[in-house]
Structure 1
Amino acid sequence: MQLYVLTSYVIYLIAGIITCYGMWLLFKKSILSLNDKIALERRIKLRNRNLKNENLEIETEATFIEKWASDLDKMLQHTKHNYRKETALQSFIIFHGASFGILTVLLGIITKSYFFGSFFGLLFVFGNFFRHRLKLRQIRLESGYKLADLTGMLASKYSSEFNPQMRNILSSVNKEIEYPIFKKHITQIVRVDQNYVKDEQLKEVIESFVYSINTSFARELGASVFKALKTKENIGDTLTRLDLKIQQNIKDIQEEMGNKVDMWYLSWFHIVAFPGTLLGIAFGINISDTSILHYQFQTTAGQFMFILSVISIGFARLAAAWFSRQPNDY
């Protein structure tokens, strides 16, 4: 009986996923084409609005929604495969909205509680969002430590030139550096520096580089590179000082950080133990003629305890992954 109930739930879930994916494939070309048209119209309106504000000397401040959308789009640039600026943000929002609705209805029908279904819909949305955030943090942590190599190379090449030109030095460093994230950002900075019309264009690509690291060292390096590219001012002493600070900070972190591997592995224990215990009780213990899965998923107390368990496990896993490594910052 328990196996039949569990199998039927899994079949419902798989059927819903396959149906949604099939609908996406069916309308994919139309949706992408529509997104491209909307993105083009938005860019035209935005450019016209900015030109109007410049002519009237009006300074506009971004709203909270615009700031949130901009930050979300920057996050997707670094965490989403096959990122497309025109469609990535819209697709992300639509996907999570549709997933929330489907999970709410599907689990609501299965468990006879739409509150339980909506909770898991929200859990999926926030869980996937924090998955992207966690991936961004891992990228930032790795980039923060790799920044020591980049700064060292920049300082070395800059000090070796009689009349250093930052664009040429960046191009030279880009050929030698192996870290792909830095190669992508340096390529963009060099390309924009060759063609930009407004300072904001150069600032934007440098801010994107800083965003991928998000440390005080990165912000200082970004400001120095922008100053060298724009004013041709010599920043050799700044790069040397910054390189020494980063190297010393890494040594201090290595001395302070304890071994956190045990905490990392312990966070996985709950993810394995909880479903294993639930399935073991469901198939190994017969409390009554009614399936244990009925008490777990179709009674208020069972649903509440399941929700509480999932939340606690999720936070434990997130905290272990988030604090397992210290950022290279001061």
Structure 2
Amino acid sequence: MKKSLFVGAAVLLCSFGLHSSVSAQETTVSFCKPGYTTEQTPTELAICNDPSGRTELYISSALALMNDENVSSSDRKRFLKEQDNWYDFLSSLCKSSDLSCIEASAKKRLQTVQGRVLAAVANSTSTGKKNADTDAKTGIDTMQDSSSEPNIPDMPDMIDVATLMPHFNGPPKSDLTPDDSALLTLIASINEGAIRLGNLELALDKSGQIQDMAKNMVNDHSAINEGLKERFDPKDKPNDKTMWVRKHVDDAKSKLTGLMKSPKSFEQAYLVGEFGFHSGLVTYLDSLTTANLSPEVEDFRVSTVKVLTEHRDMAKTIAKAYQISLKQ
């Protein structure tokens, strides 16, 4: 079985035009390897015991694509986070005894990964953002008929987060005021929450504007977090607003997980929730008294608000095109 998995994975990779060297060991997913110490979920157990081995082949091939030498480390990290959310999605979508459902979902996941990886590789070599966006859309739309997509009006280009959060030369700033640390802890929680919920949306394996919005959320908030860690060394100082953010994200994740079998309802709830989440955060961060913030942290607050505002407006534009009410 392992030999046939190896051959199948290698053929799939070659057909995608990528060049990872896939060893026999890599064609076995981690939870099926001998000596795996964590207790397997019923779905994982079903995958490992599937006599055809096809589901494991689809998963291992997807993982090999993510680890292709042409994929950047940041994209690889993002893909692997999406994969973790997909496992949760699979467990909620298919009964552990329904191998046909599990296999079909794994096959679709592989097709989605193919599109995302090819788009990422194209993006890394593209000379312009518009060409990269076209490549990404082409790669994803081949997997699913998008004829039902509404005609979304052109939206303004997203803020270049890399410009907002430039490379910081020197050691991270550690002489922070208590207000500095409290604000940076809050921003870190906002980023982590937006990434968690965005990855949950991406686990649906769909194409369309809401999926594109989720990708922007994950990429932008990851960039803000990287900038925060690079520029500052804050002490963890949660406050009431930080705890509210964490509870909001936990509640939203619970609600969305319950809607996974109804993708349309899921995406609508995600869109409405992200609009409300970002709207509230923009209002709050704009209202802060900043007298006790150091200049560097104040600049970081202003930059973060700009990104949150762009995300809020993007959700509003998409909701209008889909005729989705944003009232909660």
Structure scoring higher RCO (CA < 8 A, sep ≥ 6) equals: 1
Q: What's the TM-score once normalised by structure 1's chain length?
A: 0.24
Q: What's the TM-score once normalised by structure 2's chain length?
A: 0.24
Q: Which has the larger radius of gyration?
A: 1
